[in-house]
Structure 1
Amino acid sequence: MTRIDQTFARLKAEGRGGLVTFITAGDPDYETSLSLLKGLPAAGADIIELGMPFSDPMADGPAIQASSLRALKAGQTMKKTLSMVREFRKEDQVTPIVLMGYYNPIYVYAVDRFVADASEAGADGLIIVDLPPEEDEELRPAAAERGLNLIRLATPTTDEARLPAVLANTSGFVYYVSIAGITGTAAPDVTSVGAHVGRIKARTDLPIAIGFGVKSQEQVRDLAAVAEGVVVGSALVSAIADTLDKDGRGTAETEPKLLGLVQYLSEPLRQRAEASAI
């Protein structure tokens, strides 16, 4: 079993959903970002999505776009992103890390070299937003050979004809995009999301994690009732941005605010686990 498989098995045994947290590697700078990454599990993150900065993150809203630009401005590279994973693994061999981003930086790095280096560093999975199943013949076999889960996205517009292609060769979990649009720009409708998730569950035994637009305890609680995981991204990178100084550098408030928000958002999941144990 992969670290992702083991995590969802543990969450199921605990009777709760998992919190999947997203931050952008190198935002606002390498050292601050690495410290945040290392602090996420203790704050309540069950799985970490680590964004690979890209200059044109077209599926992302303003908050994550800005985080990518901050990271690139601070000198973040793919090598540094993989170095962050490597440093994290020196202290944590349990928490899964999923590298999330776009295909261009991987293609430029060279696909075979990327999957080899990502696996060696300790990454567990990949979410490549702009790589459809029909175009993944370079990445998918190489990732599978190295034991990296390739996690695909399903959306409100993924119909019955399209869903089998999305689920084919997907591993780890399915990422359900709860809104039609870019990240962080609207709130998910739990009733609608539940119906779509139910449709996907009828086609796969993989865990499902719901993301896009999640920013409150209530949303985390309600979405975790219909899926195995809840993803929070824009709210976290916005929390980082709110603490930066006028030059875009981290401050004494950056780490406590970000990790405090993760702890706050994870509370409904911990409470559910406690209730299940009674």
Structure 2
Amino acid sequence: MPYLTGGVTPDWTDHLRAIADAGADAIEVGIPFSDPTLDGVTIQEASDVALARGATTDGVLADLSRNRVEVPVVVSTYANLALRRGAGRFCRSLAEAGVQGLIVPDLPLEEAGATSVAARAANVDLALLASPATPTHRLREIAERSRGFVYAVSLMGITGEREHLAASAAALARRLRGVTDRPVFLGFGISTPAQAAAAARDADGVIVGAALMRRLLDGADPASTAGFVRSLRTALDGVPARTTADAGG
């Protein structure tokens, strides 16, 4: 699931379509926010660029509505934007734009009730986040209340490119697979095809954001971003399928 900041360039929806055509199973589209507390330098820069261009929640959703792709789109944004107009209205606007999933990284489990109900009513899957520090009983509750997939944060830190996949990534994926049959997607710090393949040995999906956005911010055209996604697809296709015994749970 590649990540793309909505509104980051005038042709951002061309990148969206190119990424879908390059083999993405789903695409995470970030609605830019001025204070992205869990994001590192690259995604922060992308948000700043998009906001400077005049990107808004309504504008990004309108672009998505006009540019439907053949794979699921999962919107991510922060609670301020998701809840300022009311969870029900926000989730309905996602559904009207063709969005199938939602990630709100700063929405605590204890405060997710209204958003979860609103998302379910709109037929939008709200995926909750789990970290390496999350205790097992809480992992179980996060998994039970997530829909679509569980977002496993591979390390205690912020998004951004890393030279190596964190050792905590595999451990967290295995812990989650021990408490749920719901798909586990690993994100944060997955930067290269080799790292994506390594993550996929323990997770059901991988999320790649900063590495893709750095290329786009440096001037990559849609064909180039598609080429990077295609390299990820090739690496993932080479990972042997896990057996039932490997699946955990």
Q: Provide TM-score, normalisation by structure 2.
A: 0.91
CA distance in 2, matches of 1:194, 1:181: 16
- Whether the aligned pair in 1 keeps the contact of 2:143 and 2:182 (CA below 8 Å) is no
Q: Give the structure 2 partner of residue 7 of structure 1.
A: none
**3-state secondary structure, aligned to 2:67:** helix
Q: Give the structure 1 partner of residue 191 of structure 2.
A: 215
Give percent identity, aligned residues only: 35
Q: Give the structure 2 partner of residue 198 of structure 1.
A: 174
- Whether the aligned pair in 2 keeps the contact of 1:128 and 1:152 (CA below 8 Å) is yes
Distance change in 2, residues 1:272/1:202 (3 Å): closer
CA distance in 2, matches of 1:139, 1:211: 22
* Aligned residue runs from structure 1 range 105-124, under 5 A: 105-124=81-100
Moved more, 210-219 or 108-117: 108-117
Deviation for aligned residue 1:207? 0.6
Q: 2:9 aligns with which of 1, 23, 28?
A: 28
User: How large is the RMSD of aligned CA atoms in angstroms?
Assistant: 1.8
Matched, 1:138 2:98: no
Q: Give the structure 2 partner of residue 4 of structure 1.
A: none
Deviation for aligned residue 1:273? 7.9
- Whether the aligned pair in 1 keeps the contact of 2:162 and 2:191 (CA below 8 Å) is no
- Whether the aligned pair in 1 keeps the contact of 2:193 and 2:236 (CA below 8 Å) is no
CA distance in 1, matches of 2:177, 2:146: 14
Distance change in 2, residues 1:273/1:167 (3 Å): closer
Q: Give the structure 1 partner of residue 226 of structure 2.
A: 259
Which structure exhibits the higher relative contact order, with contacts defined as CA atoms closer than 8 Å and separated by 6 or more residues? 1
* Aligned residue runs from structure 1 range 99-178, under 5 A: 99-178=75-154
- Whether the aligned pair in 2 keeps the contact of 1:179 and 1:187 (CA below 8 Å) is no
Deviation for aligned residue 1:189? 4.0
**3-state secondary structure, aligned to 1:138:** helix
Matched, 1:56 2:23: no
CA distance in 2, matches of 1:255, 1:38: 8
**3-state secondary structure, aligned to 1:86:** helix
Deviation for aligned residue 1:219? 0.6
Deviation for aligned residue 1:270? 3.0
Q: Give the structure 2 partner of residue 43 of structure 1.
A: 22
Deviation for aligned residue 1:267? 1.1
**Structure 1, residues 66-100: CA drift from partner, whole Å, max 9, x if none?**
101111110111111111221232xx3x4111001
- Whether the aligned pair in 2 keeps the contact of 1:111 and 1:139 (CA below 8 Å) is yes
**Structure 1, residues 198-247: CA drift from partner, whole Å, max 9, x if none?**
1111111101111111111111111111111011000011001111xxxx
CA distance in 1, matches of 2:116, 2:214: 32
Unaligned runs of 5+ in 1: 1-19, 244-252
CA distance in 1, matches of 2:67, 2:134: 35
Deviation for aligned residue 1:188? 5.3
- Whether the aligned pair in 1 keeps the contact of 2:165 and 2:190 (CA below 8 Å) is no
Deviation for aligned residue 1:137? 2.4
CA distance in 2, matches of 1:161, 1:141: 22
Moved more, 72-81 or 56-65: 72-81
Q: Give the structure 1 partner of residue 246 of structure 2.
A: none
CA distance in 1, matches of 2:199, 2:29: 22
CA distance in 2, matches of 1:204, 1:45: 24
Deviation for aligned residue 1:272? 4.5
CA distance in 2, matches of 1:230, 1:77: 27
Work out the number of aligned pairs and report it: 241
